[in-house]
Structure 1
Amino acid sequence: MPRDTTPVTRALLSVSDKTGLVDFARSLSERGIALVSTGGTHKALAEAGLPVTEVSELTRFPEMMDGRVKTLHPAVHGGLLAIRDNPEHQAALAAHGLQAIDLLVVNLYPFEATLEAGRPFDECIENIDVGGPAMIRAAAKNHADVAVVVDVADYATVLAELQTHDGAIGSEMRRRLAQKAFSRTASYDAAIANWFAGEIGKEDAPAFRAFGGNLGQSLRYGENPHQSAAFYRSPGIARPGIATARQIRGKALSYNNLNDTDAAYECVAEFDPACSAAVAIIKHANPCGVAEASSLLEAYEQALACDPTSAFGGIVALNRTLDVEAAKKIVEIFTEVIIAPDASDEAMAIVGTKKNLRLLLAGALPDPRAAGEIVRTLAGGLLIQGRDSAVVDDMPLRVVTRREPSEAEFADMRFAYKVAKHVKSNAIVYARAGATVGIGAGQMSRVDSSRIAAWKAAEGAKRIGAAESLAKGSVVASDAFFPFADGLIAAAEAGATAVIQPGGSMRDDEVIRAADEAGLAMVFTGTRHFRH
């Protein structure tokens, strides 16, 4: 068990990020703590006029190979790993003229930042720290006697601890620092391992996998108040969205807010902002309205019209810079979050009139075609799959019915299939003129999803006083094949004129016959979009 407090008489500092370094080291020195340092850290401390010993004086060996070899030496690791209460360890230190190190301060080469900046392979390799993680692990293992600091944010806490304990660090603090240190090296190694796997063309199922992250935000609770939660950013992965977003307005985000906002932004990113303005309104991770138009205002109004009841308290995602006209309209109803690549100053001011409405600016849109991974926990393990990066615009659409779709139907089918990709299975989406008019999500049977979507479209007609369901003249998208003709027949009865689906059912011929009998045009994509 660690002793209650450990006096600090010697500290080794070796940092890449020198934020706050000089002030921290000066405070240590003023307490009479001897400073030892390496390379650039030594230079910074010496130039600040602090008494500091270069690590080569401890090792009696110069830094070499462009700094690749400097701390991998018994003088360093013996000083970190020696157990103070172990006579043999103390005898070994004395016999070899080594000195104990009580405090290690290390932050690592900026591998993640180098990766996020898109630097070349060789530069990424050179930013893989070797000596730093070795020292961190040594100090963390020996936390009964050594304190290890890997985060600039902990400098003030350590100084306060030294003040409280008259130059010593308590066991609770050392344990907390050690846990953080092991987590830091694990996250760092995970970033390296996953990047390297991608560079060499990784196996579909490698023998070992590593995942890590740094805390982005502590959350009040998870999906429910009795569940704890936090958001972690994946090191080295710069996919635009939640992790890159700046929160401009509104109260703190919740677990559900983050989950739903991620779903909304991934959905709206399917629509190229150079081609059209697009808006996705999400509730409980499912789209309740999506539309594309010539302006964000028009797209929002059409998306909202699909299901304004569900949109209340929802998430609004935009594929273009939020402008004044769209902002004015969005704030008319209660909305939890708006996320967009950017926003004009005037639009931000409008959003600011709603104190609880969060505005997130992600800087860019995620690439729907980009590779990536989805990770979920199961009891005792992880379930990992590639991101669904299939895009309907890249798919060969095969007409399987006697009637060919019109150009307008083709356009709406592509639109509807983009939306269906982001609807929980079983998914059915009715769309017309670049907007959803009915969505059925997450049902146990596809025919039930089709009926719910048709009912939503009929309710939409009632809201605006239309004589016919909004599904009349629409197209319908199904995320997977129709196992029976009943789902397709339900779509035809609702008024759909064309269908887009993957195909591949044993009963495809039966479904095609039903489409022909109903006068529908139907295309197969050959690509399924299950989403669970």
Structure 2
Amino acid sequence: MKELQLKYGCNPNQKPSRIYMSGGESLPIEVLSGSPGYINFLDAFNGWQLVKELKEAAGLPAAASFKHVSPAGVGVGLPLDSVLARACWIDDLEELSPLACAYARARGADRMSSFGDFICLSDTCDVSTARLIKREVSDGVIAPGYEPGALQILNAKKNGKYNVIQIDPDYEPEPLEKKQVYGITFEQGRNEQKINEDLLKNVVTKNRDIPDSARLDLIISLITLKYTQSNSVCFVKGGQAIGIGAGQQSRVHCTRLAGNKADNWFLRQSPQVLELSFVDEIRRADRDNAIDTYIGEDYMDVLADGRWESIFKVKPDVFTQEEKRKWLDSMTGVSLGSDAFFPFGDNIDRAYKSGVKYVAQPGGSVRDDQVIETCDQYGMAMAFTGLRLFHH
């Protein structure tokens, strides 16, 4: 297949639309089910690059949950403990494969943002992963292959209209990439810089101890940032991106956004949230929205107007700010990556509130000394990678 006609571009009024190879060769993908759209393919191709590179760097199956050309969550195939499994709504499933664990982590990072995501898998989609995908609201999936049983499960989703894309894992793009803006062609060399532990050698803080688990998390953060719309910051813990701040003009706003998402991820694992008793007929998305409201500051309004009766079997106690802060203060060992240098120490101040202990950033700011000093105040270990990772 040399080209694929699409229904429309980013918006219904943008026609005609297609994807094709400029050299006339065949596309490296096959659509096995559904009819993916323009944005679906943007998410699929960006996400495939991410999980392919992460699999190579980590040596573990990788998955990403993509929305509007940035990841909402990323994970590698490490097992989930019982608390995290409950928070990700998978504790009722039988033992998950490593690839399924990777997607459970990716989907569980920010479940509200992942609603209607495009799923990107580094490995052949197995039955375990397909069963997990079946129960979530998503637009489609891209993977290098599908087990027959997995494909049967996915083909039944959305009455056979679920988007399933198979990509050639051996496909290598041209070293130069091009795009047009306002009829003008931009050309640049692809960002082929490999991200590995060599980037973490230049530790500039008094604390120079970065354990292997944190090194893996920092690599996950940097590879995630490589395919996230800039400016961007990524919090990672235990093989899972738990907070991604993307596309902000101010770096501290990226850090606040990512930090708030990381806080929500951790608050969902608190006893107050895990013990919530939902009505039997509630849908998964409504349950996620209810938890977000319960964690938020406007829950008193929900209690006051009686809406809780349509969500919970039992009226839950208010999760006070003091209780939330006490729980968040127990979160430690978080890793943080930034796609460009931190211009001020305020980013580190905010990161500390979300349990950050390890930092990787390019360095190169005129205020590097201030940022290092702020890290030293909190006992953080920070590496200067010397590598900017802007993505637009």
2:372 pairs with 1:512: yes
2:134 pairs with 1:346: no
Displacement of 1:472 after TM fit?
3.5
CA distance in structure 1 between the aligned counterparts of 2:2 and 2:330, rounded to whole angstroms: 45
2:20 pairs with one of 226, 232, 243? 232
Structure 1 segment 268-417 matched on structure 2, within 5 A: 268-272=51-55, 275-294=59-78, 295-354=98-157, 355-364=160-169, 372-393=175-196, 395-397=198-200, 398-404=202-208, 405-417=210-222
* Structure 1 contact 371–389 (Cα < 8 Å) conserved: no
CA distance in structure 1 between the aligned counterparts of 2:334 and 2:155, rounded to whole angstroms: 38
- Partner AA of 2:42 in structure 1: N
CA distance in structure 2 between the aligned counterparts of 1:317 and 1:247, rounded to whole angstroms: 14
Displacement of 1:235 after TM fit?
1.9
2:28 pairs with 1:244: yes
CA distance in structure 1 between the aligned counterparts of 2:64 and 2:70, rounded to whole angstroms: 10
Displacement of 1:366 after TM fit?
5.4
2:251 pairs with 1:446: yes
CA distance in structure 2 between the aligned counterparts of 1:421 and 1:470, rounded to whole angstroms: 30
CA distance in structure 2 between the aligned counterparts of 1:268 and 1:475, rounded to whole angstroms: 19
CA distance in structure 2 between the aligned counterparts of 1:450 and 1:394, rounded to whole angstroms: 23
Displacement of 1:272 after TM fit?
2.7
> Match for residue 182 of structure 1?
none
Q: Percent identity?
A: 33
> Match for residue 501 of structure 1?
361
CA distance in structure 1 between the aligned counterparts of 2:333 and 2:154, rounded to whole angstroms: 37
Displacement of 1:406 after TM fit?
2.0
Displacement of 1:365 after TM fit?
5.6
Change (3 A) 1:414 1:471: farther
Change (3 A) 1:516 1:504: same
* Structure 1 contact 437–470 (Cα < 8 Å) conserved: no
2:322 pairs with 1:485: no
CA distance in structure 1 between the aligned counterparts of 2:169 and 2:358, rounded to whole angstroms: 34
2:7 pairs with 1:220: yes
Displacement of 1:259 after TM fit?
1.1
> Match for residue 285 of structure 2?
none
Q: State the TM-score, normalized to the length of structure 2.
A: 0.75
Change (3 A) 1:365 1:499: farther
Displacement of 1:410 after TM fit?
1.6
Displacement of 1:407 after TM fit?
2.2
2:229 pairs with 1:428: no
Change (3 A) 1:418 1:462: same
Give deviations 1:55-87, integer Å, cap 9, x for gaps.
Answer: xxxxxxxxxxxxxxxxxxxxxxxxxxxxxxxxx
Displacement of 1:396 after TM fit?
3.6
Structure 1 residue runs without a partner (length 5+) = 1-213
* Structure 1 contact 265–318 (Cα < 8 Å) conserved: yes
- By relative contact order (CA 8 Å, sep 6+), the higher-ranking structure is 2
Q: Tell me the SS of whatever aligns to 1:270.
A: helix
Displacement of 1:479 after TM fit?
0.5
Range with bigger deviation, 394-403 or 500-509: 394-403
- Partner AA of 2:51 in structure 1: V
Q: Tell me the SS of whatever aligns to 2:231.
A: coil
CA distance in structure 1 between the aligned counterparts of 2:253 and 2:191, rounded to whole angstroms: 25
* Structure 2 contact 2–24 (Cα < 8 Å) conserved: no
Give deviations 1:432-478, integer Å, cap 9, x for gaps.
Answer: 11111111000010000100011111112233336337964210000
Change (3 A) 1:470 1:351: farther
CA distance in structure 2 between the aligned counterparts of 1:363 and 1:391, rounded to whole angstroms: 21
Give deviations 1:103-156, integer Å, cap 9, x for gaps.
Answer: xxxxxxxxxxxxxxxxxxxxxxxxxxxxxxxxxxxxxxxxxxxxxxxxxxxxxx
Give deviations 1:481-509, integer Å, cap 9, x for gaps.
Answer: 01111112211122100100111111111
Structure 1 segment 21-60 matched on structure 2, within 5 A: none
Structure 2 residue runs without a partner (length 5+) = 79-97, 272-326
Change (3 A) 1:359 1:303: same
CA distance in structure 2 between the aligned counterparts of 1:438 and 1:327, rounded to whole angstroms: 25
CA distance in structure 1 between the aligned counterparts of 2:330 and 2:33, rounded to whole angstroms: 36
Displacement of 1:427 after TM fit?
0.7
- Partner AA of 1:217 in structure 2: L
Q: Tell me the SS of whatever aligns to 1:392.
A: coil
Give deviations 1:161-194, integer Å, cap 9, x for gaps.
Answer: xxxxxxxxxxxxxxxxxxxxxxxxxxxxxxxxxx
Q: How many residues align?
A: 312
CA distance in structure 1 between the aligned counterparts of 2:234 and 2:355, rounded to whole angstroms: 13
- Partner AA of 1:384 in structure 2: E
Displacement of 1:245 after TM fit?
1.3
CA distance in structure 2 between the aligned counterparts of 1:424 and 1:472, rounded to whole angstroms: 27
